């Protein structure tokens, strides 16, 4: 499926009143999912949970990998710095830098640092999480990009936001990341806003690493999704449960 087809499908599902969950390979997929989401919700908040900000432009990227650039294609303020690329004529900038929040970043390129500082993009690094705690970070995130909760939220979760101990089978692992429990708590709390209508879960690569690595990564990804959709650590009991007597 091409990016433009993904965008159209996301739009179609959202217009039916459903929440879209998109499982991907690399993070370039979010170019399409956010684009499709923004065609339905013209005022959208983006929570980008990732080891990397992925806001390089094609002219600043050292690697040339498009999965490190998706937000530059989508943000209106960066369009003067983004060249027109063949095959991307359908893609129109649809979000503002003021509506983006990064959580868990710890590998930031020089140009990305410049862009974040120039446009004052809400950013919480792993040091911020260590210092403030995840609950405070999320409260400040919502206050910055969606204080009245009047906007729908697109949550883009890169599995490399987790520490490689929990998600080793990914293309660009970065040490000292989120614990699995921190990642689960984060999506649990975001879900409780009842404003999330689009979710990406990306950068899971089951071809990388040992069989144990692959199992660990896929299991972590599943737990993140379960947490978003209501799985909690406490056991749910039926209302009529009673202790059995001997």
Catalytic residues: 27, 50, 52, 54, 67, 158, 160, 203
Which of 200, 127, 212 lies closest to 168, judged by CA? 212
* Annotated binding-site members for Mn(2+): 27, 50, 52, 54, 158, 160
- Binding residue numbers: 27, 50, 52, 54, 158, 160
Residue pair 62/169 in contact (Cβ under 8 Å)? The answer is: no
Report yes or no: 160 and 205 within 8 Å, Cβ to Cβ.
no
Per-position DSSP letters for the chain, written without gaps between them: --HHHHHHHHHHHHHTT--EEEE-SSTTHHHHHHHHHHHH-SSEEEEEESSS-----TTT-SS--GGG-HHHHHBGGGGGGS---TT-TT----B-GGGEEEEEE----HHHHHHHHHHT-EEEEHHHHHHH-HHHHHHHHHHHH-TT--SEEEEEEEGGGB-TTT--SSSS--SS-B-HHHHHHHHHHHHTTT-EEEEEEE---TTSS-HHHHHHHHHHHHHHHHHHTT--SSPPPPTT--PPP-
């Amino acid at each position: 499926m091409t990016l433009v087809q993904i965008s159209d499908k996301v739009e179609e599902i959202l217009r039916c009143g459903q929440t879209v969950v998109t499982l991907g390979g690399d993070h370039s997929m979010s170019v399409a999912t956010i684009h499709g989401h923004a065609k339905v919700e013209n005022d959208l908040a983006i929570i980008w949970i990732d080891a990397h900000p992925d806001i390089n432009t094609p002219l600043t990227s050292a690697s040339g990998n498009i999965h490190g650039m998706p937000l530059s294609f989508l943000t209106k303020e960066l369009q003067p710095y983004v060249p027109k690329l063949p095959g991307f004529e359908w893609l129109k900038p649809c979000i503002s830098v003021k509506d983006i929040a990064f959580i868990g970043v710890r590998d930031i390129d020089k140009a990305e640092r410049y862009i974040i500082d120039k446009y004052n993009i809400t950013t919480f690094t792993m040091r911020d999480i260590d210092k403030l705690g995840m609950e405070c970070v999320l409260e400040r995130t919502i206050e910055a990009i969606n204080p009245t909760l009047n906007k729908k939220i697109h949550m883009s979760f890169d599995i490399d936001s987790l520490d490689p101990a929990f998600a080793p089978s990914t293309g660009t692992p970065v040490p000292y990341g989120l614990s699995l429990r921190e990642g689960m708590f984060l999506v649990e709390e975001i879900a409780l806003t009842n404003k999330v209508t689009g979710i990406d879960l990306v950068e899971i690569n089951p071809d990388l690493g040992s069989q144990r690595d692959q199992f660990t990564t896929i299991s972590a990804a599943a737990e993140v999704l379960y947490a978003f959709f209501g799985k909690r650590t406490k056991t749910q009991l039926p209302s009529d449960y009673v202790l059995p007597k001997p």
